[in-house]
Amino acid sequence: MQTPRVAWIGLGVMGSPMAENLIKAGYPVRGHTLEPEKLERLAAAGGTPAASVAEAVRGADVVVTMLPADPQVEAVVLGDDGVLAHTAPGTLLIDMSTVAPRTSAALAEAAAGRGVRVLDAPVSGGEAGAVEGVLSIMVGGAREDFDRAGPLFRALGTTVVHCGPHGAGQTVKAANQLVVAVNIQACAEAVVFLEKAGVDLPAALEVLGGGLAGSTVLERKKHNFLARDFAPGFRIDLHHKDMGIVTEAARAVGAAIPLGGVVAGLVAAARAQGDGGLDHSALLRGVERLSGAAT
Ligand code: NAD
């Protein structure tokens, strides 16, 4: 079978390295994004830059979107000059952005009218996971479309799971973001507590990491906490969006997530204090402010 031609829309922190991993795996990739320097990066990696969504998706077998949030995904897919306006029936659209489950279901319904197949396939693992090609990918949609996309997913991630119908991948991602935010907040509180208590912080984090308190979050964010390096990574603005998604989705099914509500408020406060552009490990700065410590 011929290698599918891929159109990639959204070459940001995640999209650039993911598209590059597809190129390394032998896929022809034509990409579009808003920043010219990201298009140059794609060309340098062996991809083909496109000046518009229409130019990127024409003739593609698979279209991948990796965009910030629901409004951008809806505009790029459903817009007058968007993906659905320029793709042939039988094309597979894989939205890897994190959006609300109901947005994924609505996209799939709109696309079905044009014979375009859709998967929601949000990811976890951060920028490092994207670069290393070791993302967790949670997929919603038809099983046969999941099977068709299998080789492509395996070029991007190591844990790839079909979770159910349209929107199920996003529901799992919302749960993921709840766990990550609560975990970061707990780690940040531990860091401020340990520092105020005068304990050797690198030593403390090393031993915490080896016990039940250890987590991928602690492992991946330890450096950010220690160095106060909050360059994104995953921006607080995006996690704010995701806490909105999980809060709404949990409410819709009658699930109480009290800790999620508290941490959603702390993420919103960090953003209101001007930290929205920082990595989500900067929740530490919020704990410092509450504790009267230097930020
Ligand atoms: P980003 O802001 O770095 O990149 C988004 C890209 O989309 C930008 O390059 C921008 O130019 C492009 N874009 C926006 N509107 C566009 C349009 N109309 N047409 C074409 N391109 C457009 O975001 P990111 O960090 O790469 O995150 C992308 C998605 O992945 C988000 O939904 C985020 O929640 C999710 N995510 C991010 C991470 C992370 O660690 N950064 C991890 C897991 C999931």
Q: Is the pLDDT of residue 248 over 70?
A: yes
**Residue found under tokens 């809806």:** 74
Q: For residue 100, is it within any domain? A: yes
Contact between residue 100 and residue 248 where contact means Cβ atoms under 8 Å apart: yes
**Tokens 């920043």 -> residue:** 35
Q: Is residue 273 part of a domain?
A: yes
Out of 173, 221, 222, 241, which one is annotated catalytic? 173
Specify the CATH number for the domain of residue 180: 1.10.1040.10
In short, whether 191's Cβ falls inside 6 Å of ligand 1 is no
Q: Is residue 295 part of a domain?
A: no
Contact present, 116 and 95 (Cβ < 8 Å): no
Instruction: Tell which of 166, 183, 200 closes a domain.
Output: 166
Question: Ligand 1: does its nearest atom lie under 6 Å from the Cβ of 11?
Answer: yes
Average pLDDT, the chain: 97
Task: Give the Å distance between the CA of 150 and the centre of ligand 1.
Answer: 22
Question: Do 121 and 91 share a structural domain?
Answer: yes
Judge if 57 and 78 occupy the same domain: yes
Residues 70 and 198 in one domain: no
Does 145 lie in the same domain as 24? Answer: yes
The residue-averaged pLDDT of 4-25 equals: 98
Ligand 1 contact via 66 beta carbon (within 6 Å): yes
Beta bridge partners of 188: none
173 a catalytic residue: yes
Task: Output the pLDDT for position 164.
Answer: 98
Domain span including residue 188: 172-290
Among 67, 132, 135, 136, say which to mutate for ligand 1: greatest number of ligand atoms within 8 Å of CB: 67
Residue, of 201 and 128, whose pLDDT is higher:
201
Residues 31 and 98 in one domain: yes
DSSP H helices in 51-167: 53-57, 70-78, 83-86, 101-112, 126-132, 143-154
Residue 260 identity: G
Is the residue at 202 inside a domain?
yes
List the structure tokens of 208.
């915490």
Examine residue 176 and state whether it is found in any structural domain, yes or no.
yes
**What is the domain-level CATH number for residue 77?**
3.40.50.720
Q: Are 8 and 21 in contact (CB under 8 A)?
A: no
Convert the pLDDT of each residue in 91-130 to its tens digit: 999 999 999 999 999 999 999 999 999 999 999 999 999 9
Q: Is the pLDDT of residue 295 over 80?
A: no
Helix (H, G, I), strand (E, B) or coil at 228: coil
Same domain, 157 and 188: no
The residue-averaged pLDDT of 235-241 equals 97
CA–centroid distance, 6 to ligand 1, in Å, is 18
CA-nearest of 60, 130, 128 to 97 is: 130
294: confidence class by pLDDT, cuts 50, 70, 90:
confident
Pocket test for ligand 1, best of 66, 83, 239 (most atoms within 8 A of CB): 66
Distance from C-alpha of 162 to C-alpha of 168, rounded to nearest angstrom = 9
212 shares its domain with 82: no
Supply the DSSP string of 143-189, one letter for each residue.
Answer: HHHHHHHHHHHHTTEEEEEEEESTTHHHHHHHHHHHHHHHHHHHHHH
**pLDDT tier at 78 (50, 70, 90 boundaries)?**
very high
Checking if the pLDDT of 254 tops 90, the result is yes
Mean pLDDT along residues 264-269: 98
Q: What pLDDT does 2 receive?
A: 83
Instruction: Compute how many other C-beta atoms are within 10 angstroms of the C-beta atom of residue 9.
Output: 29
pTM for the structure as a whole: 0.95
With a 6 A CB cut-off, is 73 part of the ligand 1 pocket?
no
Residue 1 lies in a domain: no
Ligand 1 close to Cβ of residue 10 (< 6 A): yes
Could you give the percent of the chain with pLDDT greater than 70? Answer: 99
Indicate the number of domains in the chain. 2
- Does 137 share its domain with 39? yes
